[in-house]
Amino acid sequence: MYTLFQPTDQERVEGSMNPHLAGARDSTLREADEVVNDLEQVLLSEEVIAKRVKELGEQISRDYRGCDLVVVGILKGALVFMADLIRHLSIPVIMDFAVVSSYGAATKTSGVVRILKDLDQPIEGKHVLIVEDIIDTGLTMHYLINNFKARKPLSVKVCTLLDKPSRREVDIVPDYCGFAIPDHFVVGYGLDYAEYYRNLPQVGVLKPEVYKK
């Protein structure tokens, strides 16, 4: 379902080739060039992600035809995925966001889930689609589904960009999944390591030396 390949020199310099930015390489662009060099492997290229996100959007639009939908993004990881996904939804949607914390700066889950920012609006009697960056142990999603179901919505479903089924500790199967990936700690397209790398347009595996920095 996914392909493994090294970032090419072309990909590394892509930003600086943008004719609109020629001669105006600002600090943002320089940082983007630098962060992609911290990747050991690109798991999912920008193009592969874009194609799959479009498919997911079309499928969700078909499944919820005739319904109003509350799309709930789990911040911060789902930010980039959700921004792209909603532009492929052709049904009426409203957006809401929750902020949960389960990780800190470590790459292993603490098992403790806390809601740091709750939904702005009630979801009683509404169809809810939770949008998440990745389901790993499943503890975060398990907690969120139960928490939201207690508010008596019409339905609660889950759309995740990535799934690491091999690491599951609770029985969670996403209703919509972009890509099942092997057990690597990945960054990019919203996913972070110690809050960095969310701005990478692709999903990749960090070089081991990055963790030692």
Per DSSP, 75 falls in state E
- Asked whether position 133 contacts ligand IMP by CB under 6 A, the answer is yes
The binder of ligand IMP chosen from 41, 59, 102, 147 (CB under 6 A): 102
* Beta pairing class for 186-187 and 155-163: unpaired
8 Å CB contact between 139 and 112: no
| Of 113 and 154, CB closest to Mg ion | 113
- Asked whether position 190 contacts Mg ion by CB under 5 A, the answer is no
Closest CA to 181 of 143, 120, 134: 134
The binder of ligand IMP chosen from 7, 73, 77, 204 (CB under 6 A): 77
**Contact partner, 82, from Mg ion, ligand IMP, none, Cβ < 5-8 Å per class:** none
Question: Is residue 136 annotated as part of the catalytic site, yes or no?
Answer: yes
**Contact partner, 161, from ligand IMP, Mg ion, none, Cβ < 5-8 Å per class:** none
- Token pair for 201: 């347009």
3-state secondary structure 6-71: CCCHHHHHHHHHCHHHCCCCCHHHHHHHHHHCCEEEEEECHHHHHHHHHHHHHHHHHHCCCCCEEE
- Asked whether position 77 contacts Mg ion by CB under 5 A, the answer is yes
The binder of ligand IMP chosen from 38, 84, 136, 163 (CB under 6 A): 136
Q: With CB under 6 A as the contact rule, which of the stretches 28-36, 79-87, 115-123, 126-134 interacts with ligand IMP?
A: 126-134
Task: Give me the residues paired with residue 158 across strands.
Answer: 130
* Beta pairing class for 69-75 and 186-187: unpaired
- Asked whether position 188 contacts Mg ion by CB under 5 A, the answer is no
Name the residues annotated as catalytic. Answer: 136
Contact residues toward ligand IMP (CB under 6 A) are 77, 102-103, 109, 132-141, 185-187, 191-192
